[in-house]
Chain A
C-alpha cells in the first residue's frame, strides 16, 4: 500500500513551452501533497504544499505564477511549469501524506520526474 505515482517519468521540452507533471496517490486519499525540486547532486528542496480544494502554499523564492499547482481531487495533484527555460531543468519529486492511516506522519514519495528544457 501507500503508493505514489508520477507521470511522466521523463520529459523533454523546448524553451518557452509549458509542461504538466501529475502526482497520484494510488491506494489512499491525500488531502496534502508536497512538491520538491532536486538539482543534480543536491538535496530535495520543498517548493510548495498542495492542499486539496484550496490554493497551494509556496516556499519563499518559488514563483507561484511559474509553477502552477492544482490539487483538484484527493488523489491527484499537478505541477505545471509555465514558459519553461533551461534553468528549470531538474528532478521534480512529489510526496503525499495518508491522513487516514496510523502512519500519517510519514510521507510517501513518488518516483520523480526528470525535466529537461532545451
Chain B
C-alpha cells in the first residue's frame, strides 16, 4: 500500500517570501503521479501542481514549483513570492498509474502573514 507523509502540520511565511512544504511517500510502483492540492476555507480542492514520476524535470506552475527526488521518494512544494491568498491547507497526494484513486498526506496548514 502507498503511504504519503507530510511532517509539517503547520507553517507560516511572510508575504512575498518563499516557503517549502515537505512530502515523502512510500511505494513499490515505478509509474505513478504526485500532486499538490490546496484546500482553502471553502474546502474546495484545487490542484496546484502535478508531477509524472517518469519525468525527470521538476514541474513548475507560475509561483509554484516542486523538487521531485524519485530515489528518495520526496516531493516538496516551493511557493515563491507568497501571497495572502495562498493561506490554506495543502495536501500532497499519490496516484498509481491507471488506477485513479488518490492517497493523501495529513496536510500542512500554511498561513501567509502580511
Contact = CB atoms under 8 A, between A and B. Distances in A.
Q: Are these two chains actual partners, yes or no?
A: yes
A28 interface: no
A90 to B, nearest CB: 12
B76 to A, nearest CB: 18
B50 A111 contact: no
A42 B102 CA distance: 15
Interface string A45-79: 11001000000000000000000000000000000
Contacts of A93: 43, 45
Contacts, number: 46
A107 B101 CA distance: 9
Contacts of A105: 33, 50, 52, 95, 97, 100
B17 to A, nearest CB: 25
Contact of A46 (B47, B50, B91, B101): B101
B36 interface: no
A106 B43 contact: no
Interface stretch (B22-30, B60-68, B78-86, B104-112): B104-112
A43 B100 contact: no
Contacts of A44: 45, 91, 102, 104
B44 interface: yes
Contacts of B47: 106
Query: Ordered nearest first, which 3 A-B pairs have the shortest CB separation?
Result: A109-B45, A43-B104, A44-B104
